[in-house]
Amino acid sequence: MNKIGEKIRKLRDLRGFSQESLAFELGLTQPSYARLEKYDERISITRLIQIAKILNTTVSDLIEEKTQKISHQYNNEVANSYNVDTINTIINADKEHIITLKEEILFLKKLLEDKF
């Protein structure tokens, strides 16, 4: 087994796909797919893109191509800002929910006081 085929097999196993199910997703027979894993030089770039999408990875990861450091830094900054924005949105929603709950509690207390 070659490097790309081995990487595909490991990811396929990790993601819980059988050879049959991945072959079906690709429109191949299981023996044809098995040959792709074993003899990865037969994998076309189009097929490699399909496999990457199904396995929720990138072609670069499959062929173990190293990306430039700047690209990683940019992606990390974007991911971090997204995470911070998402976290802030959740925190603000929680604060609003707490305020609403406090108002409801005060309203219910007043109803109880008026009743008794």
Kindly report, residue by residue over 3-22, the tens digit of the pLDDT.
888 889 999 999 999 999 99
pLDDT (0 to 100) of residue 55: 94
Q: Tens digit of pLDDT for each residue in 69-104?
A: 445 555 555 555 556 666 666 676 777 778 888 888
Check whether residue 71 and residue 104 sit in a common domain.
yes
Which range of residues forms the domain containing residue 47?
3-63
pLDDT (0 to 100) of residue 46: 86
Check whether residue 75 and residue 106 sit in a common domain.
yes
Check whether residue 9 and residue 48 sit in a common domain.
yes
Query: How many domains in the chain?
Result: 2
Check whether residue 108 and residue 57 sit in a common domain.
no
pTM of the model: 0.53
Nearest alpha carbon to residue 32 among 20, 14, 44, 41? 20
Where is 93: in which H helix or E strand?
A: helix 69-115
Q: Tens digit of pLDDT for each residue in 29-78?
A: 999 899 888 886 778 888 888 999 999 998 888 887 544 444 555 555 55
Q: How far apart are CA 36 and CA 42, in angstroms?
A: 6
* Residue 110: pLDDT over 60: yes
Check whether residue 51 and residue 98 sit in a common domain.
no
Check whether residue 51 and residue 87 sit in a common domain.
no
Q: How far apart are CA 101 and CA 7, in angstroms?
A: 51
Query: Angle of helix 30-38 relative to helix 3-15, nearest 10 degrees?
Result: 130
